[in-house]
Structure 1
Amino acid sequence: MEPPLKFRHLRTFMEVARLKSVIRAAESLHVSQPAVTKTIRELEEMLDARLLEREGRGIRLTRTGEVFLRHAGATITALRQAMDSVSREVANAAPPLRIGALPTVSARIMPQAMLSFLAEETGSIIKIVTGDNAVLLEQLRLGELDLVVGRLAAPEKMKGFSFEHLYSEHVVFAVRASHPLLAAGVDVLDRLGDFPVLMPTRHSIIRPVVEQFLIAHGIAALPVQIETVSDSFGRAFLRRSDAVWIISEGVVAGDIADNSLAVLPLDMTGTSGPVGLTMRAESLPSLPLMLLMQAIRTAAQGKAEAAGI
């Protein structure tokens, strides 16, 4: 008789698939590396199929593994929803809302959206997580979030998700208000390498857009780069240095408006990307979540109209 499929099999497989590493999955799950290897082997024996294979120093999914990943994610999501439903029934409470938002969305859209939503008096417990787009999508896939308000990811990253466009946002090169590159007659791109540059991290969704822009303008490398997705560090560092911060416009919109930061005069129209609502394709939003989504749409529309978009 074959051993029964258990939650730990699915959770371990999902974590190895997410991190592309048995060692890192073991650290994330707080178990030993042999335990992770044993669990994956048990799962493959139950399915009579290879789910993972080595690729260089890492691990990648086989075709069978990719198929199983979609079903495993849906199963874990269903279990989480079932547990939430029982907890709500016991507590006689409204369903919790778990929202992931990019820093730019958290700063520009979510405050007004939350004010509108709270006026509905649904009684829902709300959790808002701010972070990198890729991380938020993984949390959405695992059922840890119900909705992500962020940039549209690459097609291969959007499998199993639905996306609703809200507005488009481009990348800017931000500096302190009295930066030398703002002086008249300065060739910004020619002198960019003279200053430290804050770059989006390698796994951030706007990193390829930034790299394409730099390459298209003949900038193959920058001498001093600092990779960060921290808006608090970016603001603090720019106010104390001549660094250039390459970031989505929404993150620094308030700083530009109060003249504490400025944008370098570059044509960034080619870096525009859609921002919107991402959900799991199979999920059915609760009434409170539908009300919050509408509040986000209204707030995003208001920002777009104010910006003349």
Structure 2
Amino acid sequence: MDKLNPNWFLKARLKTRQLLLLIALDDHRNIHRASDALHMTQPAASKQLKDLEEMLNVLLFERLPRGMEPTIYGETMIRHARMALNNLSLAHDDIVALKAGLTGQVEVGTIMTPGMGLLPKAIARIKQQAPLMRIGVHMETSNILLDMLQRGTLDFVVGRIIERENSAELNYEELTDEPACAVVRVGHPLAKSKNLQLKDISNLPWILPPHGSILRHRCDMMFRRAGLEPPINAVDSTALLFIGALLRETDSLSVMPIEVAKYYASLNVLSILPIELPCKMDAFGIITKQNYLMSPSAELLINAVRFAATEIY
């Protein structure tokens, strides 16, 4: 079989009628009964089949004395014809639902950083277009979210792609990386410092993610690369409510993704120290399952996430 251009069907103007004919021939195995089922004349059906075979340069059906049998090429085309027509039927149903008020259910998973800024901005945009859309948001670590995605609990995830056995079954569209920053209580003596350096803060009390976490490892390596020992006087926690409360009671520092810190700083809960930390988390993005047919509602939300990402990042 000759190699086909990926857009051959566009150039060939493949007709829906030809797809229906393939399915009818598969169902009836007879050109007369297939043409009757489609309310076509037998010569018209024969011509459409001949045109399709010439287009593909293969024989799709064996003409037998008492009927027709699909060849291996015919079976392939029949299978794809059924899929294509089924998708068109689903598209019609989805459009009817959209015209009825953009209803639908979307389940999205998110890690903390996009859950604090990107996703709320995207959802606010979607709710202006589709106020009746039901959106479920699940904020967890990437590992948990990917398990939920692969079980079919979520439509898509905004998180990090992680090396695992079945990660090849996932699509990943990177949005941005995740730089970290140092934060303190409002009114902290260091909040208005100038020319602050790592050596000025390495021996101070810190609230850090637990040992074994990615951010703790990156934070420790940040100090080591600068020739400094990582903070020894440290409380380990990732609970934001606790971290905020402990910051208010002490002069401790903490490290967190800059988007999260900006959110809490806007509420006057904490201050971001004027120092650029050479420390960042891995990039995050939109993660979907391969060969998963998205609902219109999920597609709308994904597009809103993309649009919000261009505005924020």
Secondary structure of 2:129's counterpart equals coil
Aligned twin of 1:224: 233
Secondary structure of 1:277's counterpart equals strand
Q: How does 1:148-167 map to 2 (within 5 A)?
A: 148-153=157-162, 158-167=167-176
1:204-254 deviations in Å (ceiling 9; x for gaps): 443433232232123444323333332222222222221211111011112
- Deviation of 1:202 (Å): 4.5
1:250 aligns with 2:266: no
Aligned twin of 1:296: 305
- Deviation of 1:269 (Å): 4.6
- Please point out which of 187, 192, 200 is paired with 2:202: 192
* Identical amino acids, percent of aligned pairs: 23
RMSD: 3.1
Give the letter for the 1:165 counterpart: E
Q: Output the CA distance in 2 between the equivalents of 1:184 and 1:94.
A: 52
Are the structure 2 counterparts of residues 216 and 122 from structure 1 closer, same or farther at C-alpha, using a change threshold of 3 Å? same
Q: Output the CA distance in 2 between the equivalents of 1:298 and 1:109.
A: 10
Q: Output the CA distance in 2 between the equivalents of 1:186 and 1:288.
A: 47
1:49-89 deviations in Å (ceiling 9; x for gaps): xxxxxxxxxxxxxxxxxxxxxxxxxxxxxxxxxxxxxxxxx
Are the aligned partners of 1:153 and 1:205 in contact in 2 as well (CA < 8 Å)? no
Q: Output the CA distance in 2 between the equivalents of 1:303 and 1:225.
A: 32
Aligned twin of 2:248: 239
The unaligned stretches of length 5 or more in structure 1 are 1-91, 305-309
Are the aligned partners of 2:111 and 2:141 in contact in 1 as well (CA < 8 Å)? yes
- Deviation of 1:270 (Å): 5.1
Aligned twin of 2:147: 138
Secondary structure of 1:242's counterpart equals coil
Q: Which moved more, 1:264-273 or 1:223-232?
A: 264-273
Secondary structure of 1:164's counterpart equals strand
Aligned twin of 1:32: none
Q: Output the CA distance in 2 between the equivalents of 1:205 and 1:138.
A: 19
1:107 aligns with 2:147: no
Secondary structure of 2:154's counterpart equals coil
User: Which 4+ residue blocks in structure 1 deviate beyond 6 angstroms?
Assistant: none
- Please point out which of 293, 299, 313 is paired with 1:284: 293
Aligned twin of 1:119: 128
Are the aligned partners of 2:122 and 2:304 in contact in 1 as well (CA < 8 Å)? yes
Are the aligned partners of 1:132 and 1:229 in contact in 2 as well (CA < 8 Å)? no
Q: Output the CA distance in 2 between the equivalents of 1:152 and 1:288.
A: 23
Return the TM-score normalized by structure 2.
0.58
Are the structure 2 counterparts of residues 97 and 172 from structure 1 closer, same or farther at C-alpha, using a change threshold of 3 Å? same
Q: Output the CA distance in 1 between the equivalents of 2:166 and 2:268.
A: 37
1:246-267 deviations in Å (ceiling 9; x for gaps): 1110111123346543333433
Are the aligned partners of 1:181 and 1:188 in contact in 2 as well (CA < 8 Å)? no
The unaligned stretches of length 5 or more in structure 2 are 1-96
- Deviation of 1:124 (Å): 4.0
Are the aligned partners of 1:103 and 1:231 in contact in 2 as well (CA < 8 Å)? no
Return the TM-score normalized by structure 1.
0.58
Are the structure 2 counterparts of residues 201 and 142 from structure 1 closer, same or farther at C-alpha, using a change threshold of 3 Å? farther
Q: Output the CA distance in 2 between the equivalents of 1:111 and 1:95.
A: 18
Give the letter for the 1:160 counterpart: E
- The structure whose Rg is larger is 2
Give the letter for the 2:262 counterpart: A
Q: Output the CA distance in 2 between the equivalents of 1:241 and 1:225.
A: 12
Q: Output the CA distance in 2 between the equivalents of 1:170 and 1:156.
A: 28
Give the letter for the 1:210 counterpart: C
Are the structure 2 counterparts of residues 239 and 157 from structure 1 closer, same or farther at C-alpha, using a change threshold of 3 Å? farther
